[in-house]
Structure 1
Amino acid sequence: MGSDLDPAALTRLRQALQPDWVHTARARRIAAAALVLLAGVAVVRDNPDADRTAVVIAARDLTPGTPVRVDDVRLESRSAATLPDGAQSETAAVLGTTVAGPVRRGEVLTDVRLLGSRLAETTAGPDARIVPLHLADNAVLDVIRSGDVVDILAAPHAESDSAPKVIATDAVVVLVSAAPQGPAQARDRVVLVALPSRPANTVAGAALVQSLTLTLH
């Protein structure tokens, strides 16, 4: 014959009749399990401070061809996962270097944003060199930009009747100096190009004695 008592009531009655130590032990087991769970979560959860690092960023817009000054940069903590390769971590390492391309305020400064061996290597290969050129026609400098690929032509010597000659191909423009302000001579403007070492040396030698110009790809 089935019992007329409510099963829920029987459960409550049994729990009420249990000694206090049973309830205490159960509570302790629940608390211990909760602590273990919390400890596991703490281990797995990323530590925000551990995943951040100080990097050099531009404190204002920077112009290509200008040296980096103290007021141009500052250190800022950024998430390590978002940082580009080559991010600079010390302001002393960038002060006095030359900006190779336009840099926006708040942008992280990397090795390829500054003139140096890393810029040459990234642009034209591991043995690359950067060569400064004065062009026969400075108007060309107003239409080329960093990243343009150009060929370099040398005019023949004055006593020669030969045609201009291509002395290097696939040079990459890394910097075009800004137009001078005031009485400065336009002749002072230069273009920096990156080339593998052998053609770079050929171009540098030709620049000493010949007039040069560029053709754009």
Structure 2
Amino acid sequence: MAPDRLDPTLRDRISALLATRRGVRLLALRRATALALLVLAAGLAVQPRHGPPESSVLVAARDLRPGQQLSGADIELRAVPRHLVPDGVLRAAAAADGRVLTQAVRRGEPLTDVRFAGSAVPSRAGSAATPIRLADPDVADFLAPGRRVDIITKITRSGHSSVLAEAVPVLAVQPADNHGDQGRLIFVGLPGEQAAAVAAASLDQSVTITLR
């Protein structure tokens, strides 16, 4: 005689009870997991969001030209992500004050050691960085920032020359591979009026220097 399905056996009752208990445990586990995820999300939402670590570096406060002798108005400190900080960057205003740029720098660009011509050169009150193109570009190989030179016009066929300035400091020297066909450019520190006279003379006369 076939078993009556409407009258379940003890085995069927036990199986149904176990299945019910497994379902209850699974539902409880799902609810606990969902609650834990909600708590975690809430905790992350109230935590402060930290960006990448930053470092203070010296940058140009405005566009700067080659040969410019820097002062406090030309530079500023700015916090930038550490992974964007270039090698050789300057981090204090004192490290750039009085130094002379050999290349142009855009506003906001970090200032690195390779942008400058050697050590800072003490400037006299009212002095200006004056560009001069040398008649003999090879002479610049013997120059370095801080060296004192006399500036003279080149001796003409008549044997005449004139001294334009004496014992002036060299501020910057143009790299040898960057002067083209126009002659080697150097920057010297001169008082305002004398700077204008020397710059004007160097435009229409061949200029050379003697080393001190």
Give the TM-score of the pair, scaled to structure 2: 0.47
- Structure with higher Rg: it is 2
Give the TM-score of the pair, scaled to structure 1: 0.46
